[in-house]
Structure 1
Amino acid sequence: MDKAADPILQVLQDYKAAVFAKDVDAFVALYAPDILAFDMWGAWTYEGIASWRSMVEGWFGSLGAESVVVDFSKAQTAISGELAAVHAFVAYKAVTVDGEELRSMDNRITATLRQTAEGWKIFHQHSSAPIDPATTKVIFKR
């Protein structure tokens, strides 16, 4: 779907821009105050915007001069009234100021959103990656 025709794809574009800019406020603004996130790193859940903001501040703050390029692929959206869902594959690539790739990882993301007076806000997000049954290690490359 075209971004102009699908406001949820615009949320993904805003996510990408906020991550690349390491803009905590812009990133957190994509989420509802009651966000419940099942993230891949560090905590079983992040409940509420204060918990989520703390995670984002730690993530962006850990990057130093690096930036992260986010790329969503195979994004599928569904909108019904005031609720929407999106799922996609997502690649995160850490790069130097010169654009040199330092490391990367792929995972999967699903988000549910609700329409608010401020626009579409993510109120639940789940990220995951498969686990190799032979080694029990996470598979970070699609």
Structure 2
Amino acid sequence: MGKLDKPILQLLDDYKAAVFAKDLDSFIALYDEDVRVFDMWGAWSYNGIESWRQMAARWFGSLGTERVVVDFSDPQGIVAEDLAVVHTFVTYKAVTADGVDVRSLDNRLTAILRPHGDGWKIVHEHTSSPLDVETAKVMFNR
């Protein structure tokens, strides 16, 4: 696995900014029209940009005055001319309007990207967290 190039790191920064701002259009702009997402929450998959847009609108709308700070840890990947694979640990931390931490959880995230214009778009995203083998409960913290 190697270091990621600037356009892919920029996409991760844009993801963080869009989530924090609850900017639905900026968030959705990171994804390809034909995106397929295997998200941890609520559905086996989201197929196509409109399905993913509806999920993101529900997520952002559910936050009320809270914001979500996203932190990517140890992003790695493989970048080729017409395809990139990125995998990283990600922490989602809810904060109040005053910046007080409310709750957080960690996920593992893998994304497949393809070039689009002068950047990249996510064509597939998969998030997960491991299960404790003794309790079968999801482990939300690394």
TM class by shorter chain equals: over 0.9
The residue identity in structure 1 corresponding to 2:32 is: A
Residue 116 of structure 1: how far off its partner (Å): 1.6
The residue identity in structure 1 corresponding to 2:125 is: Q
The match for 1:34 is 34
Number of residue pairs matched by the alignment: 141
Residue 6 of structure 1: how far off its partner (Å): 2.5
The match for 2:86 is 86
Partner deviation per Cα, 1:72-119 (whole Å, 9 max, x = no partner): 001002210111110000000000011101110001000000002263
Partner deviation per Cα, 1:24-81 (whole Å, 9 max, x = no partner): 0000000000000000000000000000000000000000000000000010022101
Alignment map for 1:55-94 (pairs within 5 Å): 55-94=55-94
Unaligned runs of 5+ in 1: none
The match for 1:140 is 140
- Which protein, 1 or 2, shows the higher relative CO under an 8 Å CA cutoff with sep ≥ 6? 2
- TM-score norm. by structure 2 comes to 0.95
- The runs of at least 4 consecutive aligned structure 1 residues that moved more than 6 Å come to none
- TM-score norm. by structure 1 comes to 0.95
The match for 1:53 is 53
